[in-house]
Structures are given as structure tokens and as C-alpha cells.
């Protein structure tokens, strides 16, 4: 249980619709009120997050929270929303998977020719958001993205399942494709060329981005919407400053 392990949780006491699992079990799709998002209200009743218990840098703090998110049984705790903006400042978002994190930053892999890839090349400022709703937490990273080295990309690509390796070749991410059949045909051609067990090289257009944070905010849900928000900002001297934000 989350409570017992000391990991906070989102506790819904208002109505069944606040819990997606309960909502599936009890919601009557013909009753407009049960699916009304305005009536969905989760209550958070957790221990808080205080300045005194924070790690000195956001990487250590993230490592701790990531371990707790994983231990809580959250599905895909490494899934994060990645926001980019084009050169005119128009934003776009999508989910990507965190594949590495250390003092250098947060790494995900993608197609460099995708919409996000093109936007990052034009404007390297990105934001990442870990939506850990099940434990009433979120982490928001803001910073700049840069490509990982080819060696790092190749090393990660080798760990991917064979089918995912072929998928990276088959999909020209974010571009139009005529039909599902077309996608399947491209995959089948690649599967014939690279049967299971055969080495698949990483496509030149595919690789990692490392997001070097300038700020990292740790958000902890609390009672009465008086949530804790503690934000690390990189200081001029190279260390980190921590400030509390109003919820
Ligand atoms: C749970 C989940 C994980 C995903 N992980 C990745 C990922 O690690 N890399 C990636 O390129 N796309 C990933 N996607 C697909 C993206 O959300 C998105 O559809 C794709 O990258 C194209 O985005 P873009 O056109 O905005 O560039 C994931 C989607 C979901 C739902």
C-alpha cells in the first residue's frame, strides 16, 4: 500500500468518478453527471515536501522520487510529456519515455526528423513533465535539449527489441503515410532484409536527446489544494537554488 510505504498517494473521497478504475466499474455512460470532468475531484492528504528533506541537487531528488514512483506500481513511471515550440513560439506536446537520467540530464530517444526533432533543432528549449497522478506528484523539467553522441545512441539502440529496431527504420515519424498497409509493407520488407538475430544499425535520423535542466520543480499534492511546490534553479555559480512557489 502506498500509505504504508511512506509514498504519498492521491486519495479520492469525493466520488467514484475521481478514480479512473472505479469510474470504469461504476460509471453509467448514459448518465451525463458521472462523466462530467467538472465534478471529478480528488483529495490529496499526504505528508508534505519540506525544504529540509530535499536533496541538494535535483538529480538526486529525482532519483529518489523516481524510485518511489516505480515502487508504488505506477504504470510507466518513465513516461513524460515533452513540450517543444517551433521558431514562432507555437507549442506542441507528446509523450516520450525517459531512458537515462544523471547529472548531465534527462535522455529520451526519437526520430530527429519528427515534428519534435525539427522543433528542437530550431529552438532547443523544451519542458518535460512526469504526470505521476497516482501518487499525487509531478515533476517539471525545463531546459535545453541537445543530441546525444552517436555512440550513446548506438549503444541504446542495440538494447531495443528487434521489432522496435525495425520499427525505427520503417517509420518516418510525423510524416504522412498513405495507409496502414503501407506501413506494414515497409516493416515486412525490413523484416525480410534483417531477420531476427541479424544486427540492425541505428538509423541516422534516429537518436537521443539529452535535456539539460535549468529548473526542476517537484510538486506534491496536499490537502485543500495547498500543494507543495519546490523548484530548483541553476545558479550562476553552478550550484542550485531552491524556492517555494505558491500552489
Ligand atoms: C507511453 C508512450 C511512450 C512513447 N514514447 C516515445 C518515445 O520514447 N519516443 C518517441 O519518439 N515517441 C514516443 N511515443 C510517441 C509520441 O508520443 C509521438 O506520437 C511521436 O514521437 C511523434 O511525435 P511528434 O510528431 O510530435 O514528433 C510515445 C507515446 C506514448 C503514448
pLDDT band at 126 (very low <50, low <70, confident <90, very high): very high
One of 88, 176, 180, 225 is an active-site residue; which one? 225
Residue to mutate (ligand 1; options 97, 161, 164, 177; most atoms within 8 A of CB)? 97
Distance CA(156)–CA(221), nearest Å, equals 35
pLDDT band at 13 (very low <50, low <70, confident <90, very high): very low
Residues 98-113 have pLDDT tens digits of 999 999 999 999 999 9
DSSP line for 128-154 = EEEEEGGGTEEEEEEEEEEEPPHHHHH
Tell me the C-alpha to C-alpha distance, in Å, between residue 12 and each of 2, 22, 43, 86, 156. Answer: 14, 10, 5, 38, 40
Residue 174 burial by Cβ neighbours in a 10 Å radius (0-12, 13-18, 19+): middle
pLDDT higher than 80, residue 7: no
pLDDT of res. 180: 96
The answer to whether position 222 is within a domain reads: yes
Residue to mutate (ligand 1; options 77, 84, 94, 210; most atoms within 8 A of CB)? 94
Q: Which atom of ligand 1 is nearest to the CA of 84?
A: 26
Partners of 126 in beta bridges? 143
Residue 210 designated active-site: no
Taking the centre of ligand 1 as the mean of its atom positions, its distance from the CA of residue 4, in whole angstroms, is 34
**Exposure b/e, 45-80, CB count within 10 A at least 16 = b:** ebeebeeeebbebbbebbeebbebbeebebeebbeb
Distance CA(92)–CA(234), nearest Å, equals 25
The answer to whether position 25 is within a domain reads: no
pLDDT of res. 41: 80
The count of structural domains within the chain is 1
What's this model's pTM, rounded to 2 decimal places? 0.88
CATH code for position 138: 2.30.110.10
Q: Which domain holds residue 72?
A: 2-18+41-159+204-244
Q: Which atom of ligand 1 is nearest to the CA of 76?
A: 1
pLDDT band at 36 (very low <50, low <70, confident <90, very high): confident
pLDDT band at 45 (very low <50, low <70, confident <90, very high): low
Q: Is 164 in the pocket of ligand 1 (CB under 6 A)?
A: no
The answer to whether position 13 is within a domain reads: yes
Pick from 143, 200, 135, 198: nearest CA to 167: 200
The secondary element (H helix, E strand) that includes residue 102 is strand 100-102
pLDDT higher than 70, residue 123: yes
β-strand pairing of 100-102 with 105-111: antiparallel
Residue 180 in marked binding region: no
Q: Which atom of ligand 1 is nearest to the CA of 119?
A: 27
The answer to whether position 52 is within a domain reads: yes
The neighbour count for residue 132, using CB atoms within 10 Å, is: 24
Tell me the C-alpha to C-alpha distance, in Å, between residue 25 and each of 64, 87, 179, 221. Answer: 34, 45, 36, 26
Residue 3 in marked binding region: no
Residue 173 in marked binding region: yes
Distance CA(216)–CA(202), nearest Å, equals 31
Q: Is 76 in the pocket of ligand 1 (CB under 6 A)?
A: yes
- Mean pLDDT, rounded, for 189-201: 93
3-state SS of 41-68 is CCEECCCCCCHHHCCCCHHHHHHHHHHH
Q: Which of 19-33, 82-96, 175-189, 192-206 has the lowest mean pLDDT?
A: 19-33
pLDDT of res. 110: 97
pLDDT of res. 24: 43
Residues 151-193 have pLDDT tens digits of 999 999 999 999 999 999 999 999 999 999 999 999 999 999 9
- Mean pLDDT, rounded, for 213-234: 95
The answer to whether position 196 is within a domain reads: no
Longest dimension (CA), the chain: 59
The neighbour count for residue 120, using CB atoms within 10 Å, is: 24
Amino acid at each position: 500500500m502506498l500509505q504504508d510505504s511512506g509514498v504519498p498517494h492521491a486519495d479520492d473521497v469525493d466520488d467514484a468518478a475521481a478514480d479512473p478504475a472505479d469510474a470504469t466499474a461504476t460509471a453509467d455512460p448514459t448518465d451525463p453527471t458521472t462523466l462530467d470532468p467538472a465534478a471529478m475531484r480528488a483529495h490529496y492528504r499526504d505528508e508534505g515536501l519540506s525544504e529540509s528533506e530535499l536533496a541538494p541537487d535535483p538529480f538526486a531528488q529525482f532519483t529518489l522520487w523516481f524510485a518511489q514512483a516505480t515502487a508504488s506500481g505506477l504504470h510507466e513511471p518513465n513516461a513524460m510529456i515533452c513540450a517543444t515550440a517551433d521558431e514562432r513560439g507555437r507549442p506542441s506536446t507528446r509523450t516520450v519515455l525517459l531512458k537515462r537520467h544523471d547529472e548531465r540530464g534527462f535522455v529520451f530517444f526519437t526520430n530527429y526528423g519528427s515534428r519534435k526533432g525539427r522543433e528542437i533543432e530550431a529552438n532547443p528549449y523544451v519542458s518535460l513533465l512526469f504526470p505521476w497522478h497516482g501518487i499525487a506528484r509531478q515533476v517539471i523539467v525545463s531546459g535545453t535539449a541537445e543530441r546525444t553522441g552517436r555512440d550513446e545512441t548506438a549503444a541504446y539502440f542495440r538494447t531495443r527489441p528487434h521489432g522496435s529496431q525495425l520499427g525505427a527504420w520503417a517509420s518516418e515519424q510525423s510524416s504522412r503515410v498513405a495507409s496502414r498497409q503501407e506501413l506494414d509493407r515497409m516493416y515486412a520488407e525490413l523484416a525480410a532484409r534483417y531477420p531476427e538475430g541479424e544486427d540492425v544499425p541505428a538509423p541516422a535520423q534516429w537518436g537521443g536527446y539529452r535535456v539539460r535542466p535549468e529548473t526542476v520543480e517537484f510538486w506534491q499534492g496536499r490537502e485543500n489544494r495547498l500543494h507543495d511546490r519546490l523548484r530548483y534553479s541553476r545558479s550562476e555559480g553552478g550550484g542550485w537554488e531552491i524556492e517555494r512557489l505558491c500552489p
